[in-house]
A = this chain, B = another copy of it.
Amino acid sequence: MSQISKMEVHPDLAMERAKCNFNKLEVTHILDGGEENTLQRKKIEDIALNDGAARDAIPEEHMSPKEKYENAVRKSCVYSEIVRNILAELTGLETFGLNSPMLRRVSDAFFKEVSPFLLHLGMFVPTIMGQCTPEQQAYWLPRALDMQIIGTYAQTELGHGTFIRGLETTATYDPETETFVLNTPTLTAYKWWAGGLGNTVNYCIVIAQLYTKGVCHGTHPFIVQLRDEDTHMPLPGIKIGEIGPKMGFNTADNGFLGFDNYRIPRENMMMKNAQVLKDGTYVKVARHGKMTYQTMVFVRVMLVNEAAFNLAKACTIAVRYSAVRRQSQPKPGAGEPQIMDYLTQQHKLFICIATAHALQFSSNWLWRSFSAVLAEMKHGNTDTLPEFHALSSCLKAVSTSDAAYFIEQCRHACGGHGYMLSSGLPNLYNFVSATRTYEGDYTVLLLQTARFLIKAYEQAEAGKPVTPTVSYLTEAFSGNKSIWCSSPEGIVRSFQAVAAGKIGVCVRNIRSRMRTGLSQEDAWELSTIQLVAASEAHCRAVISDTYSQEIERLTANSSPNVKGVMEQLTRVYLYYWALERTGELLMYTSISETDILDLQLQYEDLLRAIRPNAVGLVDAFDLRDELLHSTLGAYDGRVYERLMAEAMRSPMNAEPVNQAFHKYMKPLLKGKL
């Protein structure tokens, strides 16, 4: 491949780049959050990637899962050293949990799936920061940050995911020895899923039901040593292993963990929010319930960011491929057009670029809001937590679901070659598809948001003030059908009217069901399909609003053509979703059938207008080839050369005749001569 990487850019891609009418670097700066960030990102990428340490001699796809894992451990160690170098060179780098988006981004060059060390910096360290007392932090943090120990976070059990109160693992305090005794009372109580748990980590944060003085105080976090620091042997009383192959994340040795009267010191309970004293007295320190959301919300914000990033990769691959791939002959005698010239292809791809932007800007906005929440929480003010929790829930659900859907659409748009692992697209789908489930399943999260929305609706109905993201509910009580208008603001207002309408239907259904004698819980349960849909509609309105407002703000000083193309993409997003939701718009706004047919034609015109800038738009994501891992998406567009070169690396091609012929086939074929 090193030879390939020096090839000339494919003439079709060169032509596309010549056609681009806007300054790509300006867009890159907007996406990075300013020129300085771009420079810092590029510096990080140069340090991490220029020497080729990320590259495998044999592609991982040809290895067994065990070999893949061992190779991933090797690269995790290499990568840890590289991070050390980056931090030494770039002081002041934002490194919360050593896991800032910039560092996280570059790590994707090393790991097609994921590092087995990921949850050490992604969950173990942040949880120590969030749940330990200052004294405990002083003991654990330096050891963890310096990687003298390596940990993960084990909450989910074989039989328990979403419902944390149902966890079965127990931690029973024994004042005699001043230890907690950990136990796994049943098969379903085994910890299951934690990344790195199977073979990699020697420590682990364990969520268990705390018992002291015969009373259960609910789930609490504990720091538990699992393996000997020198020999790495599992300690007596620990049953541990890897859970087996998954759709993705196969380099992360997700593990299971059981305890058989395993004792840990009292001090290993994470005591910021609650404590057990030496004599076994339970003391609640802080508003425990609310504070434990902190790490969870942090992870959700990161997941929205990753969804956007991975969708940007998929767009880059599919758009570049669509510029190089030629197919069919719609006009007799003419040549085969680039497949991107087909309107159906533009329909598949440009919404993906727009969504990558929409999610990225929503994620940035969510990050700023979250920082504000954190600042307020330090002063003990948790008033904004419910709104933020509702927001982070639905944004995580909708972002990961949309990103997975559109990544798959990018793969479909690449036809057969998209099915090759070397396209990079199946890996992206497998990865993002997992994020749709973990840290809060799609349906469960939307129902959490729905609870907030129903309350907000009732407040608005009572004439009370509501928080900003649901202020549209107040207008909904004006009694007028929302006036349709196809301007960006008009469409956002219509989406808000749809959300308000759908929330209203849910409220009325719940009330009428309760009037028939059903309990509140039963009436709620019977309305959940519509509640999920209402939450999705709310989230779509929030993303649409945020996206268009952020584009206006961020391009205020941009050159006219950058402003133009960014506004076009915003409209692609709005028109696309309006056309996907015509039923709701007809029900809750004044839109007419003619308006819909017109909007369809406007949408098609827009696609054709964006077409010449499509390659420029994905180039502006500025994703190095090392991050894309794609034969179809490389900057030079040498698709066919790369596909063939990659095939030649297959061990299946190392010998002209596979042994299976002599062992199995020959007796069969020759058996009846």
Contact = CB atoms under 8 A, between A and B. Distances in A.
A652 B422 contact: no
Contacts of A426: 246-247
Nearest to A149: B669
A653 B336 CA distance: 53
A146 interface: yes
A530 B600 contact: yes
Contacts of A641: 187
Contact of A244 (B530, B604, B650, B665): B650
A342 B528 contact: yes
A251 to B, nearest CB: 11
Contacts of A97: none
Nearest to A346: B529
A108 interface: no
Nearest to A158: B640
A88 interface: no
B648 A241 contact: yes
A36 interface: no
A422 B664 contact: no
Interface in A507-555: 509, 519, 521, 524-526, 528-530, 532
A565 B416 CA distance: 40
Nearest to A228: B657
Given A241-B647, A343-B529, A327 B163 contact: yes
B329 A165 contact: yes
Interface string A156-177: 1011111101100000000000
Contacts of A199: 652, 657-658, 660-661
A258 to B, nearest CB: 10
A153 interface: no
- Count of identical protomers in the assembly: 2
A245 interface: yes
A415 interface: yes
Which 4 A-B residue pairings sit nearest by Cβ, starting from the closest? A582-B583, A73-B660, A583-B583, A242-B652
Given A73-B660, A187-B641, 18 more contacts: A61-B65, A61-B244, A62-B65, A69-B652, A74-B663, A80-B668, A159-B326, A160-B327, A163-B327, A163-B329, A199-B660, A199-B661, A244-B421, A256-B644, A344-B447, A583-B584, A583-B586, A587-B593
12 contacts: A62-B245, A64-B67, A69-B660, A73-B658, A74-B660, A146-B672, A193-B416, A331-B521, A416-B437, A419-B437, A583-B586, A586-B587
Interface of A: 59, 61-67, 69-70, 73-74, 76-77, 80-81, 146-150, 156, 158-163, 165-166, 187-188, 190, 192-193, 198-200, 227, 229, 231-234, 241-248, 253, 256, 325-331, 336, 342-344, 347, 412, 415-416, 418-422, 426, 433-434, 436-438, 441-443, 447, 505, 509, 519, 521, 524-526, 528-530, 532, 581-587, 593, 596-597, 600-601, 604, 640-641, 643-644, 646-653, 656-669, 672-673
